[in-house]
Amino acid sequence: MTINCNGNLIDLSVPKVMGILNLTPNSFYDGNKYTSDVEILSQAEKLLSEGAFCIDIGAYSTKPNAEYVSIDEEKTRLFPVLEKILKEFNPIISVDTFRSEIADKAIDMGAAIINDVSGGTLDENMYNVVAKHNVPYILMHIKGEPKTMQNLTEYNNLLTDISYYFSGKIVQLREKGVNDIILDVGFGFAKTLAQNYELLHQLAYFKWLNLPLMVGVSRKSMIYKLLNASPQEALNGTSVLHTLSLNNGANILRAHDVKEAIECIKIMEEYNKYE
């Protein structure tokens, strides 16, 4: 449960928090929230000061029915910010992209992790790039692409279908020489609300793959739609799901609200002392 991030060995046997920094105008929760250099650097500093082990930077919204973003636009949004944050804080950076060209350049600039919501399905060269740089790779389950995924929620068996997807891609990544793989079951990606909760309840099932599990449920529709609320009102629900995720084996919480996620980890650590 250790990953190598630019020479830093990160022990994931103790759960960690990945802070989210979206650079998109249309993200479901914080779209267009951080636009100036001052706002972006201030939020990066906040995420780190609250205890994030890394910052996950995304410049392409992958919410359901997300609009297409050209590769040039993704570069324009991402690279200047990546350069500024690395220069200012030199943190561990994860780049949220499904494009190998973006990943390749970002790693050259200093990014340490690639978070690919497509699991390599939208860019056949992604595995080669990750292998070339030998960086940790977050392998997420999805069907289709963000524009079509919510029409692709039929499964023969939810757990076994996702396991089959993971096991095949893990073999491909290992054959390429990728050492560090993190699994993300893809809450909200080609999943109904009921399927999201089934996956959360059965999260520990995926421990048989013997890889770290990352959970991305922060302020998602599986919370706010259930509660007839909005993403802005979903922090309490997020903390509940983070606690359940930790209890079911999560190693990384990908969160907008780092302080609250860290508190979930601390409470669970104390709770587990009395097993």
Q: Which residues are catalytic?
A: 220, 254
Report residue 230: phi and psi, to 5°: -125, 165
123: left (phi over 0), alpha (psi -120 to 50) or beta: beta
Distance separating alpha carbons of residues 35 and 23, to the nearest angstrom: 7
Closest CA to 57 of 87, 90, 19, 89: 19
Helix (H, G, I), strand (E, B) or coil at 118: coil
Exposed, middle or buried, 133 (CB in 10 Å: 0-12/13-18/19+)?
Answer: middle
Q: Which helix (H) or strand (E) holds 69?
A: none
